[in-house]
């Protein structure tokens, strides 16, 4: 049995193309392979999983008191982008009616005229599906940017920023790379799945936002460590799974180019992970799980623009080079004194640039032809003696980087001056943590409640018979705490049924704890026996 790939079952006849087709007069599904559509629907769902993956990654990298805020920021940003993309984002990024090279138009505002005609990106899938798939790209990019708000950024101003940024920065970048009349697309820029719009767009935006936001308090950065490496690993695994849909789905069909993109993504990720881990080992002589995750992500980022152009052996080289370059690029933030807390610039911006440059050298025309659409249409890079692509790629990188950083910084500065939209939280809020200040919920409620226990007890100077300052019940819904402070069994009831209020003064009782430690030290110094432990009492 032989099989010949012939593309769509029936060539599109152009009927009502301006309106996206008319399902009342013809079957719009006849122009497309069901397998291709099913594959891109699944790939879209896989890409969606990258957003909680980023939330878990950033949550694990942050300190415990700001862990939940990072998950909230990533998820909320996807809600903002979903509205923006439906409202006018898709039209500005992909409307094929626009004739300028900078940005699309509003002819497809609110998904108008977007139905069953072949998509701007590929004739293999309908435009409605293409719009949904590309929406996930914008949402993931916005979630990556949210790493810049870590531990000191207010959340609502960040959401306002994301809406403006998606409109003014991401949509033009997407049009440049993939729009029918975008200048990058017209020049022949090789950007398979978003080295410019997604990786440079997120990396340089995060750098600009971090610059405007300012550095975290230095005294709070002593002995800084990620609070949960297991969450970092879980987030990385979700990202990796989603990235196979991100890069594999960018062939816009269930074809050999999709398979090659998945192969290249895995190879680049694994070799970058090994390289990064070895570089970290040389410093501490211990293996780092965080280093492995960072290397994996940087490799997947580099594969984003390159996985649909390179051969597998070139992807191995790309992974090794990316692991080295991205690892050392994490030091750049110290040189330029910008607190890029999650290393978004190094792992996304720099790694994306490396992938784009590799296309100019190692791209192969027979790899691009594996989708059955671009056969003989796209030339290779230096390995096939096409020398001009290096300056095209460099011009594209410089334009994306400069535009993204400058415009993102301007948007952030303008929002920061609007009353009520100050980007940065107060010093006290930074001390308490973004979970308490911005959400009122915690990733680890049982820990965050216990840290306030001493603040609820009477101060040392209060009369001994003065009861604690918290009425019956408590603000976290654990009334047994107040009952125990009254000297009662948890099952006993109290006559005071009011809701609790925080104790005045230092809510973490730092001064009180210090006094108690000094008192205990004085008692030991004078020869007094130490207080019996709870274990001793039981014995």
Domains defined for the chain, CATH in brackets = 33-428 (1.10.3430.10), 452-529 (no CATH)
pLDDT of 506 reads 43
SS3 437: helix
Whether the pLDDT of residue 127 is over 50: the answer is yes
Whether the pLDDT of residue 536 is over 50: the answer is no
Contact (Cβ atoms closer than 8 angstroms) between residue 400 and residue 200:
yes
CA distance 406 to 404: 6
Strand partners, 153: 424
Strand partners, 57: none
Contact (Cβ atoms closer than 8 angstroms) between residue 53 and residue 218:
no
pLDDT in tens, 410-461: 999 999 999 999 999 998 898 888 998 999 888 887 665 555 544 544 555 5
- Confidence category of residue 525, pLDDT binned at 50, 70, 90: low
CA distance 71 to 443: 9
- Confidence category of residue 56, pLDDT binned at 50, 70, 90: very high
CA dihedral over 57, 228, 296, 224, signed as positive or negative: positive
CA distance 485 to 496: 13
pLDDT in tens, 18-53: 667 777 778 888 888 899 999 999 999 999 999 999
Contact (Cβ atoms closer than 8 angstroms) between residue 158 and residue 88:
no
CA distance 340 to 326: 14
pLDDT in tens, 290-300: 999 999 999 99
- Mean pLDDT calculated for residue range 332-359: 96
Higher-confidence residue of 223 and 420: namely: 420
- Mean pLDDT calculated for residue range 252-274: 97
The token pair that represents 199 in the structure block: 């990786």
Q: Which residues contact 258 (CB under 8 A, 6 or more apart)?
A: 39, 248, 249, 251, 371
SS3 108: coil
pLDDT of 191 reads 96
Q: What is the pTM of this model?
A: 0.82
Contact (Cβ atoms closer than 8 angstroms) between residue 389 and residue 363:
yes
Higher-confidence residue of 11 and 246: namely: 246
- Confidence category of residue 465, pLDDT binned at 50, 70, 90: low
The total number of residues written for the chain in this structure: 539
The token pair that represents 107 in the structure block: 């002819």
Whether the pLDDT of residue 3 is over 50: the answer is no
Could you identify the residue written with the tokens 């840290």? 451
pLDDT of 116 reads 84
pLDDT in tens, 507-523: 444 444 556 556 665 65
The token pair that represents 366 in the structure block: 């027979």
Count other C-beta atoms under 10 Å from residue 295's C-beta. 32
SS3 306: helix
pLDDT in tens, 57-109: 999 999 999 999 999 999 999 999 999 999 999 999 999 888 899 999 999 99
Mean pLDDT of the chain: 85
pLDDT of 179 reads 92
Contact (Cβ atoms closer than 8 angstroms) between residue 322 and residue 347:
no
For the chain, the straight-line distance linking the first and the last C-alpha, in angstroms and rounded, comes to 83
The burial class, CB within 10 Å (0-12 / 13-18 / 19+), for 171 is buried
CA distance 249 to 243: 9
CA distance 14 to 28: 11
């Amino acid at each position: 049995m032989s099989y010949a790939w012939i593309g769509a079952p029936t060539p599109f006849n152009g009927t009502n193309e301006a309106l996206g087709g008319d399902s009342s007069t013809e079957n719009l599904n006849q122009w497309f392979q069901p397998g291709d559509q099913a594959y891109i629907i699944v790939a879209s769902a896989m890409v969606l999983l990258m957003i909680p993956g980023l939330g878990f990654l950033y949550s694990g990298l942050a300190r415990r008191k700001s862990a939940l805020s990072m998950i909230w920021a990533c998820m909320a940003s996807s809600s903002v982008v979903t509205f923006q993309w439906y409202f006018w984002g898709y039209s500005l990024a992909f409307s094929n009616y626009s004739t300028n090279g900078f940005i699309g138009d509003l002819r497809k505002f609110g998904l108008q005229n977007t139905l069953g005609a072949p998509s701007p990106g590929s004739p293999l899938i309908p435009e409605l599906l293409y719009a949904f798939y590309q929406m996930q790209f914008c949402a993931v990019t916005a979630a990556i940017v949210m790493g810049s708000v870590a531990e000191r950024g207010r959340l609502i101003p960040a959401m306002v920023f994301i809406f403006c940024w998606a409109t003014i920065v991401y949509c033009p970048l997407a049009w440049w790379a993939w729009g029918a009349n975008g200048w990058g697309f017209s020049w022949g820029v090789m950007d398979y799945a978003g080295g410019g719009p997604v990786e440079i767009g997120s990396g340089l935006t995060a750098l600009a936002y971090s610059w405007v936001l300012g550095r975290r308090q230095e005294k709070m950065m002593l002995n800084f460590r990620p609070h949960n490496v297991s969450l970092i690993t879980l987030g990385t695994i979700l990202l990796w799974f989603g990235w196979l849909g991100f890069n594999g789905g960018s062939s816009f069909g269930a074809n050999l180019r999709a398979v090659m993109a998945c192969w290249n993504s895995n190879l680049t990720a694994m070799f970058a992970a090994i390289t990064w881990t070895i570089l970290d080992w040389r410093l501490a002589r211990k293996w780092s799980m965080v280093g492995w995750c960072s290397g994996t992500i940087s490799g997947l980022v580099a594969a984003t623009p390159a996985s649909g152009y390179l051969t597998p052996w070139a992807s191995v080289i790309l992974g090794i080079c990316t692991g080295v370059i991205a690892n050392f690029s994490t030091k750049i933030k110290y040189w330029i004194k910008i607190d890029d807390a999650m290393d978004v610039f190094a792992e996304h911006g720099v790694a994306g640039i490396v992938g784009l440059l590799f296309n100019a050298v190692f791209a192969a025309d027979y790899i691009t032809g594996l989708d059955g659409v671009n056969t003989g249409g796209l030339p290779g890079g230096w390995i096939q003696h096409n020398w001009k692509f290096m300056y095209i790629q460099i011009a594209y990188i410089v334009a994306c980087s400069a535009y993204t950083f400058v415009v993102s910084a301007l948007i952030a500065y303008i929002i920061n001056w609007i009353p009520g939209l100050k980007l940065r939280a107060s010093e006290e809020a930074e001390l308490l943590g973004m979970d308490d200040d911005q959400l009122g919920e915690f990733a680890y409620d049982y820990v965050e409640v216990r840290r306030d226990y001493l603040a609820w007890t009477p101060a040392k100077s209060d009369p001994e018979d003065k009861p604690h300052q918290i009425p019956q019940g408590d603000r976290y819904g654990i009334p047994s705490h107040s009952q125990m402070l009254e000297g009662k069994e948890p099952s006993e009831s109290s006559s005071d049924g009011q809701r609790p209020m925080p104790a005045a003064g230092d809510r973490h009782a730092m001064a009180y704890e210090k006094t108690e430690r000094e008192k205990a030290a004085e008692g030991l110094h004078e020869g007094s026996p130490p207080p019996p432990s709870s274990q001793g009492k039981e014995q």
